[in-house]
């Protein structure tokens, strides 16, 4: 695949700039800045994969100052200069430059170092696929590779997809690519009550409300310079969406009970298992807020749409188990044909439970029992499940029934959360509880 990098050249000499543009054009889109002021403005307003800068610009050695700014923005910095002072070269590397090249051999040397950057990025992607986000799905791999090629500094990523597909894992991966040494601050919006969410996000002053007996920093402040990951953002109330939208736009916010603004800048990652466009159409989610948080929208497919990944993931979880066991071919076939409404999370929990079985060889009967796959009974519900209720208890059986009801509702409503909640006549918190307990089953 042809590389498509975004690059900036900072050089005051016109002919050197033209030469650099000719060298770099095969690698992607090239912008240029001929002076310090223009360069500073472009760096502030845009994000570049690679920045090529001179040390001596028209006003002096401002290039040294720019290196720090380039690195802060998450760009790969290469210095090109005719200046040959060891002290300057040392300062350039100390400021974060990756390479310091002479202007006299750019045509031969610069493409080599651009390729080094591309190889580094590809190695990072291959490591992610082999060690973290396990998949053989070609479409998913292509989309993941695109994500790895984006400069995520101060960008926004919106991840959608059914529960258990790996949204939190993907958010963590993007953070590690963007801010490996900075904070990753995570908040599940569905787990915090409406009254407390504002305090969780923005923090509060002592005495701001009843029970606020000490000052508290919010998630926005804690994420400054790093990543803020808001899971289940679709559960956030409209009023809170408006406040957060304002904070993101202005890069400032006010803690509850404070009149002093706090500055914050971070990469924002949001995720939901709900159909966000349905929420918008029903006026339950602000459209302007969605457009603000979805600079990039990434949808994770359910596991049933990635059939080749089921056995791959199963083997991955099997290898991670401290207890070795064998799964026979008929058992594998049942696992591959299972619907996996809980997706990867459910598969992982199933594999953990297989490892706890006393048998060293897992056959189809063991798998069927764990997955709750039994022939339909012509008798009463209780007579069919009587043995298992008496063995495992009524509470466990009810938990299983809840899970099955949610699973079937998800099938009927094509994964639309709002429709499922209305159909089942339960609260959203109860629905999410059942959904997130995909590992629960009557068979322990």
Other beta carbons within 10 angstroms of residue 398's beta carbon come to 12
- The answer to whether residues 368 and 378 belong to one domain is no
Question: 393 in helix, strand or coil?
Answer: coil
Which residues face 252 on adjacent strands? 263
User: Are 31 and 42 contacting, i.e. CB atoms less than 8 angstroms apart?
Assistant: yes
Give the best-scoring range by mean pLDDT among 60-64, 74-78, 162-166, 411-415.
Answer: 162-166
| pLDDT of res. 310 | 95
| pLDDT of res. 237 | 93
| pLDDT of res. 391 | 61
- The answer to whether residues 355 and 328 belong to one domain is yes
Cα–Cα dist 399/401, whole Å: 5
Which CATH number characterizes residue 279's domain? Answer: 3.40.50.300
Cα–Cα dist 255/243, whole Å: 11
Contacts of 151 (CB under 8 A, 6+ apart): 6, 47, 48, 49, 73, 74, 75
- The answer to whether residues 368 and 389 belong to one domain is no
Cα–Cα dist 320/410, whole Å: 30
The total number of structural domains in the chain stands at: 4
Cα–Cα dist 119/126, whole Å: 10
pLDDT of 363 strictly over 90:
yes
| pLDDT of res. 438 | 47
DSSP state of 256: B
Cα–Cα dist 388/394, whole Å: 9
DSSP state of 340: -
- The answer to whether residues 149 and 295 belong to one domain is yes
Residue that terminates a domain, selected from 274, 299, 324: 299
pLDDT band at residue 146 under the 50/70/90 scheme:
confident
Cα–Cα dist 132/144, whole Å: 12
Distances (CA, A) of 77 to 20, 68, 138, 419: 14, 9, 32, 50
| Residue 130 counted as domain residue | no
| pLDDT of res. 6 | 87
pLDDT digits 0-9 by tens, 70-126: 887 778 899 998 877 888 889 889 888 999 998 888 888 899 999 888 877 777 767
Positions of E strands within 257-305: 262-263, 267-272, 296-299
- The answer to whether residues 388 and 367 belong to one domain is no
Residue that terminates a domain, selected from 356, 373, 390: 373
| pLDDT of res. 439 | 41
- The answer to whether residues 318 and 385 belong to one domain is no
Cα–Cα dist 176/169, whole Å: 11
For residue 312, give its domain range.
305-335+343-373
Across 348-363, average pLDDT: 93
Q: Exposed (0-12), middle (13-18) or buried (19+): which is 324, by Cβ within 10 Å?
A: exposed
| Residue 240 counted as domain residue | yes
- The answer to whether residues 281 and 364 belong to one domain is no
| Residue 194 counted as domain residue | yes
| Residue 129 counted as domain residue | no
- The answer to whether residues 151 and 227 belong to one domain is yes
Helix and strand tally (H, E) in the chain? 20, 16
- The answer to whether residues 391 and 329 belong to one domain is no
Distances (CA, A) of 389 to 262, 327, 408: 56, 27, 21
- The answer to whether residues 151 and 275 belong to one domain is yes
| Residue 181 counted as domain residue | yes
pLDDT digits 0-9 by tens, 147-163: 776 767 667 999 999 98
pLDDT of 375 strictly over 70:
no
Which CATH number characterizes residue 78's domain? Answer: 3.40.50.2300
pLDDT band at residue 440 under the 50/70/90 scheme:
very low
- Give the chain's mean pLDDT: 85
| Residue 127 counted as domain residue | no
Question: DSSP secondary structure string, 420-438?
Answer: HHHHHT--HHHHHHHHHTT
Residue that terminates a domain, selected from 299, 325, 360: 299
Helix axes 167-178, 138-148, angle to 10 degrees: 30
Cα–Cα dist 247/252, whole Å: 5
Q: Which helix (H) or strand (E) holds 172?
A: helix 167-178
Residue 443: closest CA among 382, 377, 385, 361: 385
- The answer to whether residues 145 and 289 belong to one domain is yes
Which CATH number characterizes residue 313's domain? Answer: 1.10.8.60
| Residue 348 counted as domain residue | yes
pLDDT digits 0-9 by tens, 194-211: 889 999 999 998 888 888
| Residue 201 counted as domain residue | yes
- The answer to whether residues 148 and 284 belong to one domain is yes
């Amino acid at each position: 695949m042809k590389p498509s990098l975004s690059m900036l050249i900072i050089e005051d000499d016109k002919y050197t700039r033209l030469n650099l543009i000719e060298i770099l054009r095969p690698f992607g889109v090239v912008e240029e800045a001929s002076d310090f002021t223009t360069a500073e403005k472009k760096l502030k307003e845009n994000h570049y994969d690679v920045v090529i800068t001179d040390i001596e610009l028209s006003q002096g050695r401002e290039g040294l100052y720019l290196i720090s700014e380039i690195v802060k923005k998450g760009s790969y910095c290469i210095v090109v200069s005719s200046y040959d002072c060891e002290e300057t070269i040392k300062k350039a590397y100390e400021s974060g430059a990756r390479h310091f090249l002479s202007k006299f051999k750019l045509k031969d040397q610069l493409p080599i170092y651009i390729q080094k950057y591309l190889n580094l990025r590809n190695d990072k992607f291959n490591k992610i696929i082999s060690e973290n986000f396990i998949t053989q799905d070609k479409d998913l791999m292509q989309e993941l590779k695109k994500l790895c090629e984006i400069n995520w500094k101060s960008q926004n990523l919106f991840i959608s997809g059914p529960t258990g597909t790996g949204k939190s894992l993907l958010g963590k991966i993007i953070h590690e690519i963007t801010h490996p040494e900075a904070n990753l601050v995570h908040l599940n919006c569905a787990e915090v009550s409406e009254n407390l969410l504002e305090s969780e996000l923005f923090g509060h002053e002592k005495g701001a409300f009843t029970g606020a007996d000490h000052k508290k920093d919010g998630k926005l402040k804690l994420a400054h310079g790093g990543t803020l990951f808001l899971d289940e953002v679709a559960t956030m109330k409209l009023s809170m969406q408006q406040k957060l939208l304002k904070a993101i736009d202005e890069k400032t916010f006010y803690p509850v009970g404070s009149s002093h603004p706090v500055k914050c800048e971070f990469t924002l990652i949001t995720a939901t298992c709900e159909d966000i466009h349905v929420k918008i159409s029903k006026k339950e989610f602000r459209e302007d807020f969605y457009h603000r948080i979805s600079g990039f929208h990434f949808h994770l497919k359910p596991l049933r749409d990635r059939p080749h990944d089921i056995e791959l993931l199963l083997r991955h979880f099997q290898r991670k188990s401290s207890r070795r066991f064998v799964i026979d071919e008929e058992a594998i076939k049942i696992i591959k044909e299972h619907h996996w409404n809980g997706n990867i999370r459910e598969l992982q929990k199933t594999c953990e439970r297989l490892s706890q079985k006393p048998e060293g060889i897992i056959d189809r009967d063991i798998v069927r029992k764990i997955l709750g796959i039994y022939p339909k009974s012509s008798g009463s519900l209780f007579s069919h499940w009587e043995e298992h209720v008496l063995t495992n208890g009524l509470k466990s059986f009810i938990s299983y029934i809840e899970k099955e009801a949610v699973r079937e509702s998800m099938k009927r409503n094509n994964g639309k959360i709002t429709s499922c909640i209305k159909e089942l006549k339960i609260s959203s918190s109860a629905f999410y509880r059942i959904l997130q307990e995909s590992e629960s089953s009557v068979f322990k």
